Structure 1
Amino acid sequence: MDGRIFRTDSAPKPVGAYPHARRVGDLLFLSGIGPRDAATDSVPGNEYGPDGGLLRHDITAQAHAVFANVRAVLEASGARWEDLVDVTVYLTDMARDFKAYNAVWAEHFPDPATAPCRTTLGITALPTPIAIELKCVAAFQGDPP
């Protein structure tokens, strides 16, 4: 497959053998990105019990963190936040977290006319103890880097 691949230390390391992003033509495809902290690998808003099991999560903290991680990958790839055209959202607790996630989305995309398209799915689990993951596509505007 042709296309330039991107990795950055400003976003959490992928949990498998894949890049943070791949550019093909004027499109940039981001691998699934979660809210883990790039420096510590911790998950913002997670609370663990004495046995190390997850007790609860804070979707607002995780949503802000995942948006920051997406922004870091976009910037490392030469794209901008405004270049996002499609976002797939995976939530592990749709009933509890959808409303709070929508509020964070509205902070980051206040104008629906310029927001990317979005699909939100409720799923049972993600590969690490996170409550949200984003899969994004961006389109370069003007002369791509």
Structure 2
Amino acid sequence: MTKRDAVFPANRHALYDLHQYSPAIRSGDLLFVSGQVGSRDDGSPEPDFARQVKLAFANLRDVLQAAGCSFDDVVDVTSFHTDPEKQLETVMAVRAQEIGEAPWPTWTAIGVTWLAGFDFEIKVIARLPAKTN
């Protein structure tokens, strides 16, 4: 078995070590990104929900960039919401700013009861851009 090819952003936050996970793993031409949350630098949740969502997308963007990707390379999204009905409008507004116009990636939104103190989490699968020599 080959060793996991982990990707870490330049501004690594405390949660990766605290919860012992890699932000992303390269496998072939795919990038599997762990759930990103709206954490402050120390790993604590941002209390303002809109800001928490923006930080989660910013953390996701940082991980994608560390792998040489962008939101344009994302093919599948899964998001987790502690109160989807109340939160969806805010999430969709941030999503529109970050992901942009159609064609959009596939997206599955899941309502959950617990996210370790957070209210929103987003994970993706992206296709790694072809390397040019």
Same fold (TM over 0.5): yes
Q: Which runs of 4+ in 1 moved over 6 A?
A: none
Structure 1 pair 11–117 and aligned structure 2 pair: CA distance change class (3 A) = farther
Q: Which has the higher helix share?
A: 2
Contact 1:36 1:65 in 2 (8 A): yes
The alpha carbon displacement at 1:120 in A equals 0.6
* Matches of 2:22 and 2:132, distance apart in 1: 19
The alpha carbon displacement at 1:41 in A equals 2.6
The equivalent of 1:133 in structure 2 is 121
Cα RMSD of the aligned pairs, angstroms, is 2.0
Q: Between Structure 1 and Structure 2, whose CA radius of gyration is higher?
A: 1
* Matches of 1:60 and 1:144, distance apart in 2: 38
Query: How many residues are matched?
Result: 130
Contact 2:33 2:125 in 1 (8 A): yes
The structure 1 residue matched to 2:44, chosen from 42, 45, 50, is 42
Question: What is the TM-score with the length of structure 2 in the denominator?
Answer: 0.86
* Matches of 1:71 and 1:125, distance apart in 2: 24
The equivalent of 1:124 in structure 2 is 113
Identical counterparts, % of pairs: 31
The structure 1 residue matched to 2:49, chosen from 59, 76, 82, is 59
The alpha carbon displacement at 1:135 in A equals 1.2
Q: Is 2:21 aligned against 1:21?
A: no
* Structure 1 SS opposite 2:11: coil
* Matches of 1:102 and 1:75, distance apart in 2: 22
**One-letter code of the match for 2:7?**
F
* Structure 2 SS opposite 1:121: strand
Contact 1:33 1:70 in 2 (8 A): yes
Contact 2:71 2:98 in 1 (8 A): no
The alpha carbon displacement at 1:83 in A equals 1.1
Q: Where in structure 2 are there 5+ consecutive unaligned residues? A: none
Question: What is the TM-score with the length of structure 1 in the denominator?
Answer: 0.79
